[in-house]
Protein backbone atom coordinates (compact mmCIF):
# COMPACT_ATOMS: atom_id res chain seq x y z
CA UNK A 1 0.00 0.00 0.00
CA UNK A 2 1.30 3.49 -0.78
CA UNK A 3 2.09 5.89 2.05
CA UNK A 4 -0.38 8.04 3.91
CA UNK A 5 -0.75 11.41 2.16
CA UNK A 6 -2.51 14.10 4.18
CA UNK A 7 -3.55 17.21 2.23
CA UNK A 8 -4.32 20.29 4.32
CA UNK A 9 -5.70 23.38 2.62
CA UNK A 10 -7.24 26.58 3.85
CA UNK A 11 -7.13 30.37 3.86
CA UNK A 12 -4.47 32.61 5.42
CA UNK A 13 -3.93 32.16 9.16
CA UNK A 14 -6.54 29.41 9.48
CA UNK A 15 -4.14 27.35 11.57
CA UNK A 16 -3.38 24.87 8.79
CA UNK A 17 0.39 25.22 9.21
CA UNK A 18 0.31 24.39 12.92
CA UNK A 19 -2.07 21.50 12.32
CA UNK A 20 0.04 20.13 9.47
CA UNK A 21 3.17 20.26 11.63
CA UNK A 22 1.46 18.55 14.55
CA UNK A 23 -0.08 15.84 12.34
CA UNK A 24 3.28 15.18 10.69
CA UNK A 25 4.88 14.71 14.10
CA UNK A 26 2.06 12.51 15.37
CA UNK A 27 1.98 10.23 12.32
CA UNK A 28 5.73 10.41 11.86
CA UNK A 29 5.56 11.79 8.31
CA UNK A 30 7.63 14.45 6.52
CA UNK A 31 5.89 17.83 6.19
CA UNK A 32 6.01 20.39 3.39
CA UNK A 33 4.64 23.90 3.97
CA UNK A 34 4.00 24.74 0.31
CA UNK A 35 3.37 28.42 1.09
CA UNK A 36 7.13 28.69 1.59
CA UNK A 37 7.66 27.87 -2.10
CA UNK A 38 5.62 30.91 -3.13
CA UNK A 39 7.16 33.05 -0.39
CA UNK A 40 10.69 32.11 -1.52
CA UNK A 41 9.81 32.82 -5.15
CA UNK A 42 8.51 36.27 -4.21
CA UNK A 43 11.56 36.88 -2.03
CA UNK A 44 13.91 36.16 -4.94
CA UNK A 45 12.12 38.76 -7.10
CA UNK A 46 12.13 41.40 -4.36
CA UNK A 47 15.85 40.80 -3.77
CA UNK A 48 16.56 41.39 -7.45
CA UNK A 49 14.38 44.51 -7.51
CA UNK A 50 12.01 42.94 -10.05
CA UNK A 51 8.24 43.49 -10.14
CA UNK A 52 6.15 40.67 -8.64
CA UNK A 53 4.17 40.21 -11.84
CA UNK A 54 7.27 39.46 -13.96
CA UNK A 55 6.12 35.95 -14.84
CA UNK A 56 9.28 34.91 -16.65
CA UNK A 57 11.59 35.93 -13.80
CA UNK A 58 9.22 34.46 -11.20
CA UNK A 59 9.10 31.15 -13.07
CA UNK A 60 12.90 31.05 -13.27
CA UNK A 61 13.11 31.76 -9.53
CA UNK A 62 10.59 28.98 -8.81
CA UNK A 63 12.60 26.57 -10.97
CA UNK A 64 15.75 27.34 -8.98
CA UNK A 65 14.22 26.57 -5.57
CA UNK A 66 15.45 23.74 -3.45
CA UNK A 67 13.66 22.47 -0.37
CA UNK A 68 16.65 23.26 1.80
CA UNK A 69 16.51 27.05 1.27
CA UNK A 70 13.67 27.66 3.63
CA UNK A 71 14.65 28.61 7.14
CA UNK A 72 14.76 32.33 6.57
CA UNK A 73 12.62 34.19 9.13
CA UNK A 74 12.13 36.85 6.49
CA UNK A 75 10.01 34.43 4.47
CA UNK A 76 7.49 34.36 7.32
CA UNK A 77 7.00 38.13 7.40
CA UNK A 78 3.76 39.87 6.60
CA UNK A 79 5.34 41.51 3.55
CA UNK A 80 6.33 38.14 2.10
CA UNK A 81 2.87 36.61 2.62
CA UNK A 82 1.38 39.43 0.60
CA UNK A 83 4.02 39.19 -2.11
CA UNK A 84 3.60 35.38 -2.25
CA UNK A 85 -0.08 35.68 -3.03
CA UNK A 86 0.78 37.88 -6.04
CA UNK A 87 3.31 35.46 -7.59
CA UNK A 88 1.05 32.51 -6.67
CA UNK A 89 -1.55 33.81 -9.12
CA UNK A 90 0.88 33.43 -12.06
CA UNK A 91 0.02 30.21 -13.94
CA UNK A 92 3.59 29.41 -15.06
CA UNK A 93 4.89 29.76 -11.51
CA UNK A 94 2.31 27.28 -10.26
CA UNK A 95 3.05 24.88 -13.12
CA UNK A 96 6.76 25.06 -12.34
CA UNK A 97 6.18 24.03 -8.72
CA UNK A 98 3.88 21.05 -9.33
CA UNK A 99 6.56 18.37 -9.77
CA UNK A 100 8.54 19.35 -6.71
CA UNK A 101 5.41 19.07 -4.55
CA UNK A 102 4.26 15.81 -6.12
CA UNK A 103 7.70 14.26 -5.66
CA UNK A 104 7.57 15.18 -1.99
CA UNK A 105 4.11 13.61 -1.67
CA UNK A 106 5.25 10.42 -3.43
CA UNK A 107 7.68 9.41 -0.67
CA UNK A 108 7.20 5.84 0.34
CA UNK A 109 6.19 6.60 3.92
CA UNK A 110 3.71 9.28 2.83
CA UNK A 111 3.69 12.99 3.65
CA UNK A 112 1.73 15.94 5.00
CA UNK A 113 1.46 18.95 2.66
CA UNK A 114 -0.32 22.19 3.48
CA UNK A 115 -1.34 24.96 1.11
CA UNK A 116 -4.24 26.11 -1.03
CA UNK A 117 -4.51 23.52 -3.81
CA UNK A 118 -3.08 20.33 -2.34
CA UNK A 119 -6.35 18.40 -2.29
CA UNK A 120 -7.59 19.83 -5.59
CA UNK A 121 -4.51 19.99 -7.85
CA UNK A 122 -1.29 18.68 -6.32
CA UNK A 123 -2.54 15.48 -4.64
CA UNK A 124 -6.10 14.84 -5.84
CA UNK A 125 -5.68 11.19 -4.81
CA UNK A 126 -4.61 11.96 -1.20
CA UNK A 127 -6.16 9.53 1.26
CA UNK A 128 -6.95 12.36 3.70
CA UNK A 129 -8.02 15.91 2.77
CA UNK A 130 -8.79 18.53 5.38
CA UNK A 131 -9.96 22.04 4.59
CA UNK A 132 -9.14 24.18 7.62
CA UNK A 133 -11.05 27.38 8.02
CA UNK A 134 -12.05 30.05 10.57
CA UNK A 135 -13.76 33.43 10.44
CA UNK A 136 -11.65 36.31 9.06
CA UNK A 137 -11.77 38.00 12.48
CA UNK A 138 -10.40 34.93 14.29
CA UNK A 139 -7.70 34.48 11.68
CA UNK A 140 -6.69 38.15 11.90
CA UNK A 141 -6.39 37.87 15.70
CA UNK A 142 -4.20 34.78 15.39
CA UNK A 143 -2.00 36.40 12.75
CA UNK A 144 -1.61 39.57 14.86
CA UNK A 145 -0.43 37.45 17.81
CA UNK A 146 1.92 35.43 15.64
CA UNK A 147 3.52 38.53 14.10
CA UNK A 148 3.81 40.24 17.50
CA UNK A 149 5.62 37.16 18.83
CA UNK A 150 8.08 37.57 15.99
CA UNK A 151 8.58 41.23 16.83
CA UNK A 152 6.50 42.55 13.92
CA UNK A 153 3.89 44.87 15.48
CA UNK A 154 1.00 45.46 13.09
CA UNK A 155 -2.40 46.77 14.17
CA UNK A 156 -5.45 44.53 14.03
CA UNK A 157 -7.47 46.48 11.42
CA UNK A 158 -4.52 46.34 9.00
CA UNK A 159 -4.17 42.59 9.49
CA UNK A 160 -7.90 42.01 9.07
CA UNK A 161 -7.74 43.95 5.80
CA UNK A 162 -4.73 41.81 4.71
CA UNK A 163 -6.59 38.60 5.48
CA UNK A 164 -9.65 39.67 3.51
CA UNK A 165 -7.63 40.90 0.55
CA UNK A 166 -5.64 37.65 0.47
CA UNK A 167 -8.84 35.55 0.65
CA UNK A 168 -10.17 37.48 -2.30
CA UNK A 169 -6.96 37.16 -4.34
CA UNK A 170 -6.50 33.44 -3.57
CA UNK A 171 -10.13 32.54 -4.24
CA UNK A 172 -10.61 34.61 -7.38
CA UNK A 173 -7.51 33.59 -9.35
CA UNK A 174 -8.03 31.58 -12.53
CA UNK A 175 -5.53 28.82 -11.77
CA UNK A 176 -5.81 26.57 -8.71
CA UNK A 177 -8.04 28.89 -6.69
CA UNK A 178 -8.52 28.33 -2.98
CA UNK A 179 -11.49 26.00 -2.55
CA UNK A 180 -12.21 22.76 -0.73
CA UNK A 181 -11.84 19.55 -2.76
CA UNK A 182 -15.18 17.81 -3.26
CA UNK A 183 -14.04 15.01 -0.94
CA UNK A 184 -12.36 17.20 1.72
CA UNK A 185 -13.57 17.33 5.32
CA UNK A 186 -13.98 20.93 6.49
CA UNK A 187 -12.61 21.75 9.93
CA UNK A 188 -13.77 25.11 11.26
CA UNK A 189 -11.36 26.14 14.00
CA UNK A 190 -13.06 29.44 14.92
CA UNK A 191 -14.06 28.10 18.34
CA UNK A 192 -11.24 25.58 18.80
CA UNK A 193 -7.89 26.08 20.47
CA UNK A 194 -4.82 24.36 19.01
CA UNK A 195 -5.24 21.22 21.12
CA UNK A 196 -8.92 20.82 20.23
CA UNK A 197 -8.25 21.46 16.54
CA UNK A 198 -5.42 18.92 16.61
CA UNK A 199 -7.63 16.27 18.24
CA UNK A 200 -10.36 16.90 15.65
CA UNK A 201 -7.83 16.59 12.82
CA UNK A 202 -6.42 13.31 14.20
CA UNK A 203 -9.99 11.95 14.35
CA UNK A 204 -10.52 12.93 10.69
CA UNK A 205 -7.30 11.18 9.67
CA UNK A 206 -8.11 8.02 11.65
CA UNK A 207 -11.58 7.84 10.14
CA UNK A 208 -10.32 8.33 6.59
CA UNK A 209 -7.71 5.60 7.11
CA UNK A 210 -10.50 3.26 8.05
O1 LIG B 1 0.07 31.23 6.45
P2 LIG B 1 -0.48 31.96 5.30
O3 LIG B 1 -1.70 31.34 4.78
O4 LIG B 1 -0.59 33.43 5.54
O5 LIG B 1 0.60 31.90 4.16
P6 LIG B 1 1.11 30.73 3.23
O7 LIG B 1 0.34 29.47 3.43
O8 LIG B 1 2.58 30.71 3.40
O9 LIG B 1 0.73 31.27 1.77
C10 LIG B 1 1.15 32.51 1.28
C11 LIG B 1 0.48 32.73 -0.08
O12 LIG B 1 1.01 31.76 -1.01
C13 LIG B 1 -1.03 32.51 -0.10
O14 LIG B 1 -1.78 33.67 0.13
C15 LIG B 1 -1.29 31.96 -1.49
O16 LIG B 1 -1.53 32.99 -2.42
C17 LIG B 1 0.00 31.30 -1.88
N18 LIG B 1 -0.08 29.83 -1.86
C19 LIG B 1 -0.67 29.19 -2.92
O20 LIG B 1 -1.17 29.84 -3.81
N21 LIG B 1 -0.70 27.83 -3.00
C22 LIG B 1 -0.18 27.09 -2.02
N23 LIG B 1 -0.21 25.76 -2.13
C24 LIG B 1 0.40 27.71 -0.89
C25 LIG B 1 0.43 29.10 -0.82
Residue with the nearest Cα to atom 9 of ligand 1?
Answer: 35
> What does the pLDDT read at residue 163?
94
pLDDT at residue 121 greater than cutoff 80: yes
84 Cβ below 6 A of ligand 1: yes
pTM score, whole prediction: 0.94
CATH code where residue 30 lies: 3.40.50.300
Q: Is 48 exposed, middle or buried (0-12, 13-18, 19+ CB in 10 A)?
A: exposed
Q: Measuring from atom 7 of ligand 1, which residue has the nearest CA?
A: 35
pLDDT tops 70 at residue 1: no
More confident residue, 184 or 76: 184
CB atoms within 10 A of CB 116: 26
CA of 85 to the centre of ligand 1 (A): 6
Provide the number of structural domains found in the chain: 1
Alpha-carbon distances of 101 from 6, 34, 128, 143, 210, rounded to whole Å: 13, 8, 16, 26, 26
What range does the domain containing 165 cover?
Answer: 4-209
pLDDT in tens, 97-119: 999 999 999 999 999 999 999 99
Amino acid sequence: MSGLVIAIDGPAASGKGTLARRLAEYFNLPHLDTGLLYRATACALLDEGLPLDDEEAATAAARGLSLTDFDDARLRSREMGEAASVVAALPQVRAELVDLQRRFAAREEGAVLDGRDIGTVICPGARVKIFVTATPETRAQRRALELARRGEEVDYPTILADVKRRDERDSARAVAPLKPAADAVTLDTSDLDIEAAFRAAVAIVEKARG
